[in-house]
Amino acid sequence: MRKIGIMGGTFNPIHMGHLALGEYVMDELALDEGWYVPTGCSYMKSNIEIVQPMERYEMTRLAVLGNDRMRCMDVEIRREGYTYTYETLEQLTESYPDCSFYFIYGADCLFEMENWRCPERIFARCTIVACTRNGASIEKMQEKIAELEKRYQSRIRLLPFYNLEISSTELRERIASGKSVRYLIPDQVISYIEEKGFYQNEVEGFEKD
Ligand code: ATP
Ligand code: MG
């Protein structure tokens, strides 16, 4: 079986935190590849201020270009309507029967995932890799993991990660106020953002999370 790490996200825009996390988990868990899956239309976020799925896919594709272990996948952006993680996993396990999947999440997602559509169908098809983010409490994460494992017979691994306090929200605000995001977003992605004029008018707190 090939071991595949899945990094799902809005990637609005993709940043060094996303890339460093995927690279790190691949080494720590000896994964063969990391697949970046930009979300389609997520029902969790208001879509108005989110750059179109195809454009977020393009930024993600540019970001992983040149890393032989990483791929950018269009499974979600191709789907009509809202996209749900369980559907993506079911599609992937069906299309790639020779692969086992490790879904990589930051701590914020660990605490939310039970509220996602059909969490039991997510847990049935992958190992969850829950990584610390922004000083998340390891004890709180362990508690949540124990609770989820009991309720869903899920396999969840806890992995401490560097505290890279980078978020797309803050980067959009920096871009809107004309500040530099160099070294926080890959150069080729910055060029694309500038060319397209993305994130020039970000309104703080506009996005519903
Ligand atoms: P936004 O601020 O728009 O929510 P974000 O920076 O949180 O953007 P997402 O696309 O929402 O990025 O996150 C995708 C995945 O990457 C999530 O699992 C999230 O927890 C994780 N992640 C994002 N940034 C970091 C970071 N700096 N450290 C660890 N994990 C991160
Ligand atoms: Mg987020």
Tens of pLDDT, residues 54-71: 999 999 999 999 999 999
Average pLDDT over residues 65-83: 93
Helices 187-196, 53-64: inter-axial angle, 10-degree rounding: 150
Q: How far is the CA of 13 from the centre of ligand 2 (A)?
A: 11
Beta strands 155-159 and 127-131, pairing class: parallel
Q: Hey, whose CA ends up nearest to atom 26 of ligand 1?
A: 17
Task: Give yes or no for a cis peptide into 53 (omega within 30° of 0).
Answer: no
Helices 53-64, 16-28: inter-axial angle, 10-degree rounding: 60
Q: How far is the CA of 108 from the centre of ligand 1 (A)?
A: 8
Ligand 1 atom with minimal separation from the 108 CA: 20
Q: Hey, whose CA ends up nearest to atom 19 of ligand 1?
A: 106
Q: How far is the CA of 167 from the centre of ligand 2 (A)?
A: 7
Is the per-residue pLDDT at 198 higher than 80? yes
Please work out whether the CB of residue 168 comes within 6 Å of at least one atom of ligand 1: yes
